[in-house]
Amino acid sequence: MRKVFPLDWALSVQWRIWRAKTFLRRGALKLQYVLTVYTLLIINKAGGLVYNRDFSPSPNASVEKISTNDYLVLAGTFHGVHAITKSLTPRIPTKNPTSSSRPSSNPNALNIAPSLDNTQPSSQIQTTTPNPNLPVTGLETLETSFFRLTCFQTHTGTKFLLITDPLMPNVDAVMKGVYERYADHVMKNPFYQLEMPIRVEGWDRAVGQWLGGR
C-alpha cells in the first residue's frame, strides 16, 4: 500500500496540473471571448448601410467573412423588420365607460374589435401599450445562441447595431460611447455628407480605440 501510493499520488498530481493548465488556457480564452464586440453597423434613416466594421472574427468559427454586399442586404432587411416589430406592439384595451360592459377575459375581444370599428366610432375602444410610460420602439435587442444584437435608434432615425457576445455586460454604455464618437468625429466634420457612407479617418481611429480593446 505504501509502495503504490506515491505513484498513484504522482499520477493524480500530474493529472491535476494538466487539468489546471487546460482550464486556465481555456479560461483565459473565455475571458477574451466574453467581452467581445464582433461588429458595428450604422444604418441611415433610409435603410442604407453607411458604416460597417468587424472588430473580431465571427462568433462562429465556421462562418466565412461576411462581405460588405451581404451587410448591405442585411441592413435593408433589418430596417424593414425594425419597422414591423414596432407595429406588432400588442394593444391592451383600457377600461372606459363605453366598453367596460364587454368582458375583458373574452379571448376574441381583439378579434372582434376591427369589426366593431366599422359600426361604431373607433374612439370608443381605447387601447394602450403594455408600458405606457415608454415610447413605442422597434426591436432593441435580439438574442441568439451565439451572439446578441443591440440596436440603438437616434432621434433622427439613424440606427447603430452592435453585434456582441451574448454575455457582454453594459452594452448600453458601449453604445453611448460609439454615439458620442459618431457625433464628435462624423457629425461635426464639415466635409461629411449626410446619409452617405462614412469615410472619416478620425472616426475610424476613435471607434477602433473604443471598441478594439473590448
Partner 1 sequence: MVVYSFYIFDRHADCIYKRRWLPTASIPSNSSRPVSEATTDGNVARSRKALSAEDDAKLIFGTVFSLRNMVRKLGGEDDTFLSYRTSQYKLHYYETPTNAKFVMLTDTKSGSMRIALHQIYVSIYVEYVVKNPLSPVEHPGGLGVNNELFEITLEQFVDRVLNATS
Contact residues for partner 1, defined by CB under 8 A: 39, 58-60, 62-63, 66, 70, 74, 77-78, 80-81, 84-96, 104-107, 109-111, 113-114, 117, 122, 125-132, 134-147, 149, 163
Residue the block writes with cell 359600426: 119
Q: How far is the CB of 113 from partner 1 (least distance, A)?
A: 6
Q: How far is the CB of 104 from partner 1 (least distance, A)?
A: 5
Q: How far is the CB of 201 from partner 1 (least distance, A)?
A: 28
CA 105 to chain centroid, in Å, comes to: 35
Give the H or E element holding residue 172: helix 171-182
Given the complex with partner 1, which of 115 and 193 has the nearer CB atom? 115
Given the complex with partner 1, which of 149 and 186 has the nearer CB atom? 149
- Closest to 178 (Cα-Cα) out of 147, 152, 143: 152
Q: How far is the C-alpha of 43 from the C-alpha of 91, rounded, in Å? A: 29
Given the complex with partner 1, which of 38 and 203 has the nearer CB atom? 38
Q: How far is the CB of 63 from partner 1 (least distance, A)?
A: 4
- Closest to 47 (Cα-Cα) out of 75, 85, 83, 73: 75
Q: How far is the C-alpha of 39 from the C-alpha of 59, rounded, in Å? A: 10
Given the complex with partner 1, which of 125 and 211 has the nearer CB atom? 125
Secondary structure class of 120 (helix, strand, coil): coil
Q: How far is the CB of 179 from partner 1 (least distance, A)?
A: 18
Given the complex with partner 1, which of 17 and 63 has the nearer CB atom? 63
Take residue 1 and report the three cell numbers written for it: 500500500
